[in-house]
Amino acid sequence: MDHVKFTAMKDGDKEDYDFLTAHEIEYTRGTADRLLTALETLDDSLSGYQVTRLGRSVQSATRAWRDGADTDWVVATLLHDIGDIFAPYNHDEYAASILKSCVREQCTWVVEKHGDFQMIYYGQHVGANPHKRDAYKGHPYFDDCAAFCERWDQSSVDPDYASLSLDFFRDMVRDVFARDAYDPDVMQPGVRVPLQDAEVAAARA
């Protein structure tokens, strides 16, 4: 059997859907490498900064790594702007939807909302509300998103910063996307893991 028997999904039987499920499981094993390839294409996207969008991604992930952040934080930071090419008007939600099944809830929420939080830096210059983040005051992850933007996002446009290469992060991305989808031990709703760990940062220095 090399394809299903049906031409309308409602006509499929168990054999058909067992066949498709096996193919889909096999295909998902390549998710990490497809995402890494997509990251590379950020170098061809609209920029205007003194670094490329790929440069911004690896610079922000490097800052997270050097702050002692855990793998969820580092991978979420690396991928937080991956939607710039495919969803320029809701790139944050796009990236969050990619991450949602395999990183901690805290990281997904921060990535999903970081566009609103970033407005504090430039909203007044583009006719937008610089205080858009205030709508989330009181949320358990509010301070995490504010710190994410301050330490790892808004600062990662420096052409003189010594960023690590994308290759440095490849195995971390592969490890994250090899996890079982929506594993409760990964999701950890309500858990807050600090962005910075001084002891780990010192070991990585």
DSSP 8-state class, residue 163: P
Q: Are 148 and 110 in contact (CB under 8 A)?
A: yes
Residue in this structure with the two tokens 């710190």, named with its chain if needed: 147
Q: Among candidates 77, 68, 82, which has minimal Cα distance to 31?
A: 82
Residue in this structure with the two tokens 């440095």, named with its chain if needed: 168
Where is average pLDDT lowest: 20-29, 43-52, 127-136, 196-205? Answer: 43-52
Element (H, E) at 78: helix 71-79
25 lies in some domain: yes
- Cα–Cα dist 54/56, whole Å: 5
16 lies in some domain: yes
pLDDT tens digit string along 103-162?
Answer: 999 999 999 999 999 999 999 999 999 999 999 999 999 999 999 999 999 999 999 999
Output b/e per residue, 93-108; b: 16+ Cβ within 10 A.
ebbbebbbbbbbbbbb
142 lies in some domain: yes
Task: Name the residue range of residue 168's domain.
Answer: 12-204
Both tokens of 50, joined, read 């003194």
pLDDT of residue 66: 98
- Cα–Cα dist 124/80, whole Å: 23
- Cα–Cα dist 56/50, whole Å: 9
Both tokens of 30, joined, read 């390549």
Q: Give the count of beta carbons closer than 10 Å to the beta carbon of residue 123.
A: 16
pLDDT tens digit string along 183-200?
Answer: 999 999 999 999 999 999
Q: Are 114 and 153 in contact (CB under 8 A)?
A: yes
pLDDT at residue 47 is higher than 80: no
pLDDT of residue 32: 96
Both tokens of 122, joined, read 């430039």
Residue 170's pLDDT band, with cuts at 50, 70 and 90, is: very high
Name the more confident of 75 and 46: 75
4 lies in some domain: no
Question: Which 3 state secondary structure label does DSSP give 194?
Answer: coil
124 lies in some domain: yes
144: domain CATH number? 1.10.3210.10
117 lies in some domain: yes
Work out how many domains the chain is built from and give that number.
1
2 lies in some domain: no
For residue 47, what are the CA distances in angstroms to 30, 75, 100? 28, 22, 27
197 lies in some domain: yes
pLDDT at residue 46 is higher than 80: no
What's this model's pTM, rounded to 2 decimal places? 0.94
Q: What is the mean pLDDT of the chain?
A: 96
